[in-house]
Amino acid sequence: MAETHSLQDMRQQAAVAAKVFIQRDYTNGTVCHFQTKFPSELESRIDKQQFEETVRTLNNLYAEAEKLGSQSYIEGCLACLTAYIIFLCMETHYEKVLKKIAKYIQEQNDKIYTPRGLLLTDPIERGLRVIEVTVFEERSLTR
């Protein structure tokens, strides 16, 4: 894909100016929820609304993955009856949502962040601890 090629190019050619980390917000317990506070280092690069929208969508997607609903209960009960062997064969609901999240982040990077010299890293690559935003140096934007 041409878009990923240019992303990788940028990663290799551009120098990393800084890395901003959006930490987890535990006020609602152990569910995966990131802080929506806009970091000051990104003020010059991206619109506050846009960034908060990205983080809010990610939070909603993670909430969907961890939702305790009838679907997860059915999946859990069925798994218990089969001595959890189906976890080896089937893709769980959580994994399906993680794929959706990966696609969303890729899309956001392509459309919004890469043109501004930023790069979002999928939180799953950081153990769901942080959203890492890599800030590239300004000169990489001249193409």
Partner 1 sequence: MKNCEYQQIDPRALPTPTPTPPPHLGHDSDKTEEPKRRPRRKWQVFPGNNRFYCDGRIIMARQSGVLPLTLGLILITSVLFFIFDCPFLVKHLTSCIPVIGGGLFVFVVITLLQTSLTDPGILPRATPDEAADIEKQINNPGNTGYRPPPRTKEIIINQQMVKLKYCFTCKMFRPPRTSHCSLCDNCVERFDHHCPWVGNCVGKRNYRFFYAFIVSLSFLTAFIFGCVTTHLALRAQGGKGLVFALQESPGSAVELVICFFAVWSILGLSGFHTYLVASNLTTNEDIKGSWSGKSEEHVTNPYSHKNIFINCCSVLCGPMPPSLIDRRGLLPADESVQTAGVDIVLPTLATKNVCTQGTKGLLESATIPPLLSTSCPQGKPPSAHTCPDSGPAVNSDPSPELPTSCGARHTASSHGDNSPPRHAKTRSKKSKRAALHIPNPSFEVPVSPTSPDAGPSSKRRGHEGASFASLH
The C-alpha atoms of residue 64 and residue 137 are separated, in whole angstroms, by 35
102 is an interface residue for partner 1 by CB under 8 A? no
What percent helix, strand, coil does the chain show, rounded to 5?
55, 15, 30
HSE-up of residue 4 (Cα within 13 Å, Cβ side): 5
| Of 98, 105, 120, 135, the one binding partner 1 by CB under 8 A | 98
State both tokens at 142: 């001249």
Least distance in Å: CB of 138 to partner 1? 20
Pick the closer one to partner 1 by CB: 12 or 142.
12
> Helices (DSSP H) in the chain: which residue ranges?
2-13, 48-65, 70-81, 86-89, 93-108
Residues 72-91 contacting partner 1, CB under 8 A: 72-73, 75-77, 79-80, 83-85, 87
CB of 103 to partner 1, least distance (A): 16
The interface region with partner 1, picked from 28-36, 48-56, 102-110, 135-143 by CB under 8 A, is 28-36
Residues comprising the chain, all counted: 143
Q: Enumerate binding residues for partner 1 (CB under 8 A).
A: 19, 21, 24, 26-30, 65-68, 72-73, 75-77, 79-80, 83-85, 87, 92-95, 98, 124-130, 132
